[in-house]
Structure 1
C-alpha cells in the first residue's frame, strides 16, 4: 500500500501562509468567496490540502494563484510563510494613468498646524 499524503486543513494553511490574519477570516473567505483547489470550488474550511495542490482565490482586488510546496507547523515569520508556496499569480495590470491623482497635502496634521502662528485677535473680527 502507498503511504498517505500529508494534509492540513485549508483554513489553517491559509493562516500559516499569511494570506489572512486569522483562521476565522480564512474560514469566512473559503465559505463566502470560494476557493478553487486544483480547479474544483471548495466551500468547506476543513477541506484537506497538501503539497502539489494549486489554490486559486480572490484576495482584495487581485487573484492569487499559489502552488502548495509544504505544510507549515506554525504561523512563523513572513520568510518562513513564503517558503510554503510558489506564487503563480498573473502580474498586476499596469496603473491607469488616465485617472486623476489627488494632490498631496489635504488636511494639515498636528505638526503642520503648529507651524502656523496663531491668528491675531483683531483678524478674527
Structure 2
C-alpha cells in the first residue's frame, strides 16, 4: 500500500473506534462503515487524509474527516488527533438549543 494510504480497519483501531483490529475489520465487513458516502466493502479499503468516514455504532453514528494516518494505537488524546469530528459545533457558530 502507498505511504499516503492506510487500511481502513487499521485506522479505525488506531483512532479508537474499535477495541481491537479484528473488531474494526468486523465493523467494516458487517456494513457499519462508509468512506466518502460509499459503503466500505473490505477491511483493506485504502484510506487517505481528507476522506470522510462514517461509523454507525450501536447507539451513535460518528462522521469524521481523516486528518492523519496513525503509526500506532496510542492513548485517546493521540487518537483524537487522527480525525476532525464533523458533528461537533464549529467555533463561532451558535449551538442548538
Name the TM-score class by shorter chain: 0.7 to 0.9
Gaps of 5+ in 2: 90-97
Question: Aligned match of 1:8 in 3, 6, 22?
Answer: 6
Q: CA RMSD of the aligned region, Å?
A: 1.6
Question: Unaligned stretches of 5+ in structure 1?
Answer: 92-125
Residues 34 and 57, structure 1, Cα contact 8 Å, conserved in 2: yes
Between structure 1 and structure 2, the one with the greater Rg is 1
Q: Which 4+ runs in 1 deviate beyond 4 A?
A: none
TM-score normalised by length of structure 2: 0.84
2:71 alignment partner, SS class? coil
Q: Which residue of 2 aligns with 1:49?
A: 47
Name which structure has the greater RCO, CA cutoff 8 Å, separation 6+. 2
Matching of residues 86-97 of structure 1 within 5 Å:
86-89=84-87
Report the TM-score, using the length of structure 1 for normalisation. Answer: 0.66
Deviations 1:17-61 (A, max 9, x none): 011000100010001133111111112000000100001121121
Q: Could you tell me which residue of structure 2 aligns to residue 58 of structure 1?
A: 56
